[in-house]
Amino acid sequence: MLNRRHLRIKALQNIFAWHMTDKKDLASSKKALMLSIDNVYEMYIWMLSLLVEVTEYTGVDATERANKHLPTEEDLNPNLKLLNNKFAVTLKENPDFIASVKKYKINWMSDPEFVKAIFNTLKVTPEYVAYLADANNSLEESKTIVKYIFRKVILKSHNIIQAFEDKFINWSVDKEVMQGMVAKTIKNFVSEDPFANKLTPISQDWDEDGKFVEDLFIYTLRNDKDYQAMIAERTKNWESERIALMDTILMKMAICELMNFPSIPVKVTINEYLDLSKDYSTPKSNSFINGILDKIMGDLKRTNSIKKIGRGLIEE
């Protein structure tokens, strides 16, 4: 699921894109932000669908083997245990999953070579051979082989990773979230009743988190000039072109959060943006941003511009 750090990254990416375009359309930019978040969920559904397709390819493989010119006894009587994998069967009958597959128009079999390649890799592994040899077909045992297919076969496939990279521009950033969502789904499917299990939501509380990321994005852009003036006041000895755009955006987002989100402690805000600077800006950005934000913090406190709910939320 997306946590607040991931949501800050989404806002950061889209604020950066807004600064890089000549057309400053806030409504379109906000739509792009929400789409980038929905893309994470779409990626998750594509991956779940791929897991189902791999189990169902067992039937395709069985048909091909039976139609060989000289089929063996094994070809004519294949082990179809994976086709009846209880986790996959329960998932593909889950109404939320069915609706999501329809919404995103997911169809892996438009290029069956992807699924075939995964199955061919899987069927020669010792883990799969052992799975077929085991008479146990419980839901828990079914989930064990699905986890193996996901972690050790699909995520190790260069072709599959390339397919996701081609489809999702933020794959490198979002893949960790998607992997966590898939793992959580496998863990939380504890009933063979398709209606009793729930897919993993995009966040723990989307009503609250959705408002947070939308407000952070909009308030930062609406107050861009004011926040720029605060930064300029504290960087008079710096030539503006020497300050990385990413550093400026991170500081503006931090100022926005300090001034507009009363329930988020000051220390949390500062630490979050300093941490993001390590991944998204220059090696020296962390200390630079820390120093400038410290001065701006002093200015905001003197003018009583930071309003926090609860004791201790302003203290550094």
Q: Give the tens place of pLDDT for each residue, 71-104.
A: 888 878 899 999 999 999 999 999 999 999 999 9
User: Are residues 139 and 189 in contact, defined by beta-carbon separation less than 8 angstroms?
Assistant: yes
- Which residue segments constitute the domains of the chain, with CATH numbers given? 4-188 (no CATH), 223-302 (1.10.940.10)
Residue 298 has pLDDT above 90, yes or no: yes
Burial class (CB in 10 A: 0-12, 13-18, 19+), 93: middle
**Tokens read off for 208:** 């609250």
Instruction: Give whole-number Cα distances, 38 to 10, 20, 58, 99, in Å.
Output: 11, 22, 31, 15
Residue 69 has pLDDT above 90, yes or no: no
Inter-helix orientation angle 158-167/26-66, to 10°: 150
Mean pLDDT score, 200-218: 97
More confident residue, 74 or 247: 247
Residue 315 has pLDDT above 60, yes or no: no
Identify the H or E element spanning 275. Answer: helix 266-280
Q: Rounded to an integer, what distance in angstroms lies between the CA atom of residue 50 and that of residue 230?
A: 49
Q: Give the single-character DSSP code of 84.
A: G
Tell me the residue length of the chain: 316
Q: Give the single-character DSSP code of 203.
A: S
Q: Rounded to an integer, what distance in angstroms lies between the CA atom of residue 204 and that of residue 3?
A: 8
Q: Rounded to an integer, what distance in angstroms lies between the CA atom of residue 241 and that of residue 223?
A: 21
pTM of the predicted protein model: 0.92
Q: Rounded to an integer, what distance in angstroms lies between the CA atom of residue 63 and that of residue 71?
A: 11
